[in-house]
Amino acid sequence: MTSVKVRVPAKVNVQLSVGPLRDDGYHDLVNVFHAVSIFDEVVAEESDSVTIRVEGHTVDQVPVNDDNLAVRAARLLARHAGRSPGVSLRIHKTIPVAGGMAGGSADAAGALVACNELWKLGLPMADLMELAAELGSDVPFSLLGGTAVGTGRGERLTEVEAGGTFHWVFALADGGLSTAKVYAECDRIRQATGEKVGWPAVNEDLLRALRIGDPKALGPELSNDLQPAALMLRSRLVRTLDAGREHGALGSIVSGSGPTCAFLAGSKEHATDLAVSLKAAGVCRAVVTAEGPVPGAVVV
Ligand SMILES: C[C@](O)(CO)[C@H](O)COP(=O)(O)OP(=O)(O)OC[C@H]1O[C@@H](n2ccc(N)nc2=O)[C@H](O)[C@@H]1O
Ligand SMILES: Nc1ncnc2c1ncn2[C@@H]1O[C@H](COP(=O)(O)OP(=O)(O)OP(=O)(O)O)[C@@H](O)[C@H]1O
């Protein structure tokens, strides 16, 4: 039986600047994405109907019906290509579920690439990117990978050439956070404090640090406008972030909508040491090291 396997990375947002709430319920962003070496695998096999199986940690929270983003991606692609959507999808999840690392988006991107190959559609990347944007704001980046600036709701991407490999430590939390609820909390805080919300702009110092591959310069530039909202909804993350700083992380930040926390290290050895310290501090469910940037969804 023909089968296609695709590997798709998680992301961390090294800058997430959130503009005002738009009429369509989304926010305009400056979203600097960075793909890291934590991967989900999507396997697509020929089938008469659409089926989905999900394996891995905390997969009980992942829908195994038409709500699954990978199933939605396969159906959307089939409709676009004017063919039947028959495919058997199997997902092996390593990216934390509802963790702020674009796990569902990764699976959607993986299904687009896998089905394009399985069904021999030969659609170009540009077409897949358009379909990806229909599925979710983070899905185009999961296809592209690397490092990129996202504008609009995060779906319009411009690649950034990173000048080296960055070493990261991720503190995974128990239980996820809903992305929509975190954005809503961000709006609530802004309204309550009367904060004036400006048009987001890319941080040029951050881009420079990425381009020259300098983690010491990148660390202090990491920023996430959703962090106060994530900390309000999950106050114990304050301790997690503090522990990273105390143990010498160059930068400590909530990843996207959280609750995963990301720590930047100066080298692979530094990342390993930091991971050991964070584990010992008992401030999270699990600790993983990863490096970035890595490519987006690829057939393996
Ligand atoms: C937090 C991030 O992960 C950072 O990369 C993304 O902005 C979220 O991307 P995503 O999970 O693909 O989100 P979507 O599925 O497009 O939207 C989920 C919900 O998040 C909110 N949302 C998302 C993107 C955006 N630019 N503004 C928003 O307000 C909306 O309430 C939306 O209904
Ligand atoms: N293939 C999938 N994998 C994970 N979650 C999925 C999938 N399909 C649908 N979902 C639903 O999407 C919700 C968000 O999960 P996801 O792992 O994408 O969150 P996230 O990583 O925080 O997203 P992001 O970082 O893009 O905001 C889950 O609670 C789950 O109900």
Distance CA 287, CA 276 (A): 8
- Put simply, whether the predicted model's pTM sits higher than 0.95 gets the answer yes
Do the beta carbons of residue 225 and residue 218 sit within 8 Å?
no
What pLDDT score does 58 carry? Answer: 83
Low-confidence residues in the chain, pLDDT < 50: none
Q: Where in the chain is the domain with CATH 3.30.230.10?
A: 3-160
Atom 11, ligand 2: which residue's CA is nearest?
Answer: 62
Bridge partners, residue 159, by sequence: 148
Q: Where in the chain is the domain with CATH 3.30.70.890?
A: 166-292
Test site for ligand 1: of 16, 18, 26, 144, most ligand atoms within 8 A of the Cβ: 26
pLDDT 10s digits, 48-84: 999 999 999 888 999 999 999 999 999 999 999 999 9
Do the beta carbons of residue 182 and residue 60 sit within 8 Å?
no
To the question of domain 166-292 being in CATH 3.30.70.890, the answer is yes
What pLDDT score does 235 carry? Answer: 98
Token code pair at residue 236: 């114990």
Distance 120 CA to ligand 1 centre (A): 31
pLDDT 10s digits, 216-258: 999 999 999 999 999 999 999 999 999 999 999 999 999 999 9
3-state secondary structure of 150: strand
What pLDDT score does 1 carry? Answer: 63
Catalytic residue positions, numbered: 11, 138
Phi, psi of 160 (to 5 degrees): -120, 130
H or E element, residue 85 = none
Check: complex ipTM more than 0.95: yes
A 10 A CB-CB count for 275 gives: 21
What pLDDT score does 41 carry? Answer: 98
Distance CA 154, CA 171 (A): 24
The answer, yes or no, to whether any atom of ligand 1 lies below 6 A from the CB of 26, is yes
Test site for ligand 2: of 62, 182, 237, 254, most ligand atoms within 8 A of the Cβ: 62
To the question of domain 3-160 being in CATH 3.30.230.10, the answer is yes
Ligand nearest to the CA of 95: 2
Distance 154 CA to ligand 2 centre (A): 16
Residue with tokens 């195994």: 64
Distance CA 278, CA 262 (A): 11
What pLDDT score does 194 carry? Answer: 95
